Amino acid sequence: MAINHKLTNVIAGRKIKAVQQSGNDLILEFEDGSTVHIKLAEPTSSVMVRDVQNKMEYAD
């Protein structure tokens, strides 16, 4: 899967506090209290979040 550079620019350097998924809607909550809402291609889509060292932080 290709990197989504638009999303990468939104989350780069930020720490994710919580992740919620309902159907094909994904909500990332950051430590600063801000959120980003992402519409997934389909309800069973996978999500992987990696840190700057490419270490897995979250997978669903």
8-23 per-position pLDDT tens digit: 788 888 888 998 888 8
Give the pLDDT confidence score for residue 7 in this predicted structure: 77
Domain boundaries, the chain: 5-59
47-59 per-position pLDDT tens digit: 777 788 888 777 6
| DSSP annotation string for 5-40 | HHHHHHHTT--EEEEEEETTEEEEEETTS-EEEEE-
Residue of 51, 6, 41, 1 whose CA lies nearest to 21? 41
Of the pLDDT bands very low, low, confident and very high (cuts 50, 70, 90), residue 1 is low
Of the pLDDT bands very low, low, confident and very high (cuts 50, 70, 90), residue 3 is low
- Please give the model's pTM, rounded to 2 decimal places: 0.60
Please give the average per-residue pLDDT across 31-41, as a whole number: 87
Distance in Å from the first CA to the final CA of the chain: 16
C-alpha torsion 27→15→49→21, nearest 10 = -20
